Amino acid sequence: MAYSDKVVDHYNNPRNVGSFGKETPGVGTGLVGAPECGDVMKLQIRVNLDTGVIEDAKFKTFGCGSAIASSSLATEWLKGKTVDEAAKIKNTDIVNELRLPPVKIHCSVLAEDAIRAALADYRDRYADKLDGAGAPVASA
């Protein structure tokens, strides 16, 4: 199977590979997939607790080139978005951007799952500081 130029580019120059330190504030982590299925994605967001904006995102992926590209692209898109905006990223956006063939759609689904898992983890951790939608509660 030939890969699209965008997949090749993300594979060769993955954006935002890495992990945040355990003590970094505002971090939400998603770990999705399973080793026996051949793909595991770890996606992390670092949210500014004052503004609710995702200031940084990082990933590590065990999986095929399309899985690596999908998660790399996801981190690019997450940066600068608010938590609410981030929740609107759809796997089909990733499919279209990377021109993934049908057999690789599950890679984009996994990336969407990873985004949701990271957002959920962020909300869990910082629930006391957030209103219902995940935005920070204005202090009186």
Binding to other proteins in span 1-30, by CB under 8 A: 3, 8, 11, 14, 17, 19
Query: Of 63-71, 88-96, 120-128, 132-140, which segment contacts other proteins by CB under 8 A?
Result: 63-71
Instruction: Specify whether 37 is catalytic.
Output: yes
Nearer to other proteins, 15 or 53 (CB): 15
Residue 137 Cβ vs other proteins, minimum distance, rounded to whole Å: 30
Q: Where are the beta strands (DSSP E) in the chain?
A: 27-34, 39-47, 54-62
Q: How far is 106 from 129, CA to CA, in rounded Å?
A: 34
CB 70 within 8 A of CB 108: yes
- The 8-class DSSP code of residue 127 comes to G
By CB under 8 A, is residue 56 in contact with other proteins?
A: no
99 binds other proteins per the rule CB under 8 A? no
Cβ burial 97-116 (10 Å sphere, 16+ → b, else e): bbebeeebbbbbbbbbbbbb
Residue of 37, 127, 133, 137 marked catalytic: 37
Active site residue 64: no
* Residue appearing with tokens 């957030």: 130
DSSP calls for 88-120: T--HHHHHHHHT--GGGHHHHHHHHHHHHHHHH
Q: Given the complex with other proteins, which of 103 and 127 has the nearer CB atom?
A: 103
Question: What is the set of active-site residues?
Answer: 37, 107
Which residues are at the interface with other proteins (CB under 8 A)? 3, 8, 11, 14, 17, 19, 31-42, 60-68, 103, 106, 109-110, 113, 117
